[in-house]
Amino acid sequence: MSRQLQARVPRGMRDILPERMIRRRYVIDQVSRIFEEFGFEPLQTPSFELAETLLGKYGPDAEKLIYQAQHAGGKEELALRYDLSVPLARLIAMHRGQLHFPFKRYQIAPVWRAERPQRGRYREFYQCDCDIVGTTSLLADAEIIQLIHALLSRLGFKDFTIHLNSRKVLNGIGRYSGVPADQLGSLYRSIDKLDKIGMERVQEELRESQIPSEVISRLAGLLQIEGDVRSVLGRLSKELAQDSEGRQGIADLEEVLCYLKALGVPDKQLDIQFTMVRGLDYYDGIIYETSIEKPKMPSITGGGRYDQLIGLFMKDSLPAVGTSFGIERIIDAMEELNMLPDSVRGTVVRALVTLFGPDQAAISLQAAHQLRQAGIHTELYFKQSSLKSQFKYANRKGIPCVVVIGPDEAEQGKATLRNFMTSQQVQLPLSEMPSQIRRWIGN
- Ranges within 424-443 binding a copy of itself (CB under 8 A): none
Does position 153 interact with a copy of itself (CB under 8 A)? The reply is no
Q: Which stretch binds a copy of itself (CB under 8 A): 163-171, 210-218, 259-267, 428-436?
A: 259-267
Q: Which CB, 134 or 246, lies closer to a copy of itself?
A: 134
Q: Which amino acid is at 410?
A: A
Nearest approach in angstroms of CB 289 to a copy of itself is 23
Q: What Rg, from alpha-carbon coordinates, does the chain have?
A: 28
Q: Which CB, 240 or 327, lies closer to a copy of itself?
A: 327
Q: Which of 203, 347, 419, 436 binds a copy of itself (CB under 8 A)?
A: 347
The secondary structure element, H or E, covering residue 435 is helix 433-441
Q: Which CB, 98 or 210, lies closer to a copy of itself?
A: 98
End-to-end CA distance of the chain: 47
Does position 340 interact with a copy of itself (CB under 8 A)? The reply is no
Does position 355 interact with a copy of itself (CB under 8 A)? The reply is yes
Write 222-228 long-range contacts (CB < 8 A, 24+): 222/173, 222/176, 222/177, 222/274, 223/173, 223/191, 223/274, 223/275, 224/199, 224/274, 224/275, 225/274, 228/267
Does position 298 interact with a copy of itself (CB under 8 A)? The reply is no
Q: Which CB, 17 or 200, lies closer to a copy of itself?
A: 17
Nearest approach in angstroms of CB 249 to a copy of itself is 20
Question: What phi, psi does 78 have (nearest 5°)?
Answer: -115, 155
Does position 95 interact with a copy of itself (CB under 8 A)? The reply is yes
Does position 124 interact with a copy of itself (CB under 8 A)? The reply is yes
Does position 181 interact with a copy of itself (CB under 8 A)? The reply is no
Residue among 60, 50, 115, 103 at smallest CA distance from 81: 50
Subset of residues 191 to 220 that bind a copy of itself, contact rule: CB under 8 A: none
Q: Which stretch binds a copy of itself (CB under 8 A): 199-207, 286-294, 366-374, 428-436?
A: 366-374
Nearest approach in angstroms of CB 349 to a copy of itself is 5
Distance CA 152, CA 154 (A): 5
Judged by CB under 8 A, the number of residues near a copy of itself is: 110
Q: Which CB, 46 or 180, lies closer to a copy of itself?
A: 46
Identify whether the C-beta of residue 31 lies closer than 8 Å to the C-beta of residue 327.
yes
Subset of residues 16 to 45 that bind a copy of itself, contact rule: CB under 8 A: 16-18, 21-22, 24-25, 36-45
Does position 343 interact with a copy of itself (CB under 8 A)? The reply is no
The tally of CA atoms less than 13 A away on the side-chain side of residue 46 is 10
Q: Which stretch binds a copy of itself (CB under 8 A): 188-196, 287-295, 326-334, 361-369?
A: 361-369
Does position 420 interact with a copy of itself (CB under 8 A)? The reply is no
Question: What phi, psi does 38 have (nearest 5°)?
Answer: -85, 5
Distance CA 143, CA 7 (A): 47
Residue among 340, 275, 327, 271 at smallest CA distance from 301: 327
Does position 15 interact with a copy of itself (CB under 8 A)? The reply is yes
Q: Which CB, 276 or 351, lies closer to a copy of itself?
A: 351
Count Cβ atoms within 10 A of the Cβ of residue 425 and give its class: 0-12 exposed, 13-18 middle, 19 or more buried.
exposed
Q: Identify the DSSP state of 431.
A: G
Residue among 396, 402, 351, 408 at smallest CA distance from 378: 351
Nearest approach in angstroms of CB 195 to a copy of itself is 27
The secondary structure element, H or E, covering residue 203 is helix 194-208
Subset of residues 47 to 86 that bind a copy of itself, contact rule: CB under 8 A: 47-50, 52-53, 56, 64-74, 76, 78, 80
Q: Which of 171, 324, 354, 378 binds a copy of itself (CB under 8 A)?
A: 378
Does position 104 interact with a copy of itself (CB under 8 A)? The reply is yes
Subset of residues 303 to 322 that bind a copy of itself, contact rule: CB under 8 A: 308-309, 311-315
Three-state DSSP class for 249? helix
